[in-house]
Structure 1
Amino acid sequence: MIKAHKLTELELNNLIETALKDENFKRIIGQLKKFKEVNEKNFKTVLPIKFNVKSEEDILVAQSVTFDFGNEVKFTFYQVLKNNDPSTLSYKSVGTVAYEVTDEHHKIVTYKVLEDDSLIQYSKVVDKEKYVDMQAATEKDNLDLELSNENYTPDDLDNVVDVQDITDGCISGGYIWCGRGCSGDFNKPKYINTTDLCCYLHDSCYKRSGQKKANCSLCDAELCSCIAGESTKAKSMIEIGICFPCGW
């Protein structure tokens, strides 16, 4: 089982302080304000986690937190080190806003700042039932978040999400399809939430194409598009392990 650990209070406060000073925080919030009002000083934090992800030959040591401004506006901030080397420190920013387009559908708009400082946008329309499921997934992951244990270290290989290799390990919290070598029954597919559904679709794409590991393929691009707008620990791990390295 692959775990995300809860940030300590000190780690969380430092990450919040860094995020609020980051230029891309202002940049993305400015985009989100085009859709809805945002009070930058009024927020709650959800999913304050730290985790390791293996991407190619590097272990990415990440911390992340999501700012929930209410009004269906969220901002997620990541701090990432390659192989726990302080000289490789980088920050990633993602913002989302959702709004009703009909009584039965929501539109979700996501903004991300990439390595080259470019700003990209994802947009998708989901039905009301799926949107409610997405919010429930965030709440469950937040409630189920494991407390940091005293044995955790930033380079703890027992807690690496390996998006490249086929080995055993589902992401904790009941995920059936998200994680290294984590796979359910293709004949009777089940999934615990909308992020897990994206992982199922990703695994199905691999199965059809014969792909064995992430390599910035069409299957991987579709996964990154699918999880846009999600706020779960699995989504954070996928975003750092696959999406940002591939420029999505």
Structure 2
Amino acid sequence: MRFLLVEDSEKLSRAISERLVLDGHVVDSVSDIGAAEAMLHSTEYDMILLDLTLPDGHGWDLLKSLRARADKSPVIVITARSELTDRIETLDAGADDFIVKPFAFAELEARCRAVLRRKRGDASNKTALGNVEFDTLEGTLSIEGKSTSLRNQELRLFEALFSAPGRLQSKSFLLDRLFAFGSEGSDNAVEVYIGRLRKKLAQSNLEIETVRGRGYRLNICE
């Protein structure tokens, strides 16, 4: 997944980013609302982690701006405020969930998974397509009971394709899923990981189709 982390504490921001990257995610980290808005206008995110107290304003302002323009990106608010009224206002402003500082990283990860399951309408981390079962938590795909682990970039790429079967995904979009903003990446990197995924799907009825000059899409072969 690709995360936007909006947090002005350098220490906390670095700790969260390192943990999420270790778990195989891409993280773009900024420290104020202005930078967050700039990133949101150029990149699509699977999850936004938003602090409330920021140098150039209140996190609610960014949250309300997102919802006002019908941006439904999942948002988990990170806050030091634990009063009931603060929590109610946070949810009413459009947050999908919140977590109170200090928190355990395991709790943050669990809340992220829960929010994404609700967004997808899933009751678990496992989703089936064709004869493939994809476990987003374990980072595995199973074909008729045989499980295969996905490496970090493979996992990010497969998540993007698996979440929208039949939809054409451009190389630029998929490249965006693979690398954080400012990191070096190339179309060739997408091709390499597509090739690896095809090998792991060889015994399945899913096929990654290449649409020359446009991108890729995941199809179910009858």
TM-score (norm 1): 0.27
- Quick check: which one's helix share is greater? 2
TM-score (norm 2): 0.29
Q: Which structure exhibits the higher relative contact order, with contacts defined as CA atoms closer than 8 Å and separated by 6 or more residues?
A: 1
Structure exhibiting the larger radius of gyration computed from Cα positions: 2
